[in-house]
Amino acid sequence: MSVGVATMVGMTDSTAEPTVFSRIVAREIPADIVFESDTVIAFRDIAPQAPVHLLVVPKTQAYRDVVELAEGDPALLADLVATASRLAADPVAFGEHSGAEFRLIFNTGASAGQTVFHVHAHVLGGPLQEGTLAH
């Protein structure tokens, strides 16, 4: 999935420029934020690939992808997944598509579609379109 806000690619070391997601956390870039805690933020993707398309992002940019996050902070990964599940059940965040069913996608690496190298989950809701993953 392409992330519309993601023309800037950040690095994860402490000397790197902030990622676009870190800039959203810092309120330097506007976003339609649907949830925020001490550890994660969730907002609507500006180029949705489904009727509902949210991004759930750890506030730290210390992890480039889900593999690094799983190895480095499994509790934060669990928090991210739990947040996605809660949002999918929330009629305010997920609208008419709220309930227990959703898709959770982590793109890992450029050839897999990752465009922002700050770990994030795509939370998608609504019916799959013909010719997509609905096989």
In this prediction, residues 56-62 reach a mean pLDDT of 97
pLDDT on residue 98: 87
Q: List residues with catalytic annotation.
A: 120
Residue 8: per-residue pLDDT? 34
| pLDDT at residue 26 tops 70 | yes
The pTM of the full predicted model, rounded to 2 decimals, is 0.84
The domain made up of 20-125 has a fold known as HIT family, subunit A (3.30.428)
Domain map (residue ranges) of the chain = 20-125
Q: pLDDT band at 132, cuts 50/70/90?
A: low
Q: What is the pLDDT of residue 15?
A: 52
More confident residue, 128 or 111: 111
Closest by CA position to 19, among listed 85, 117, 121, 95: 117
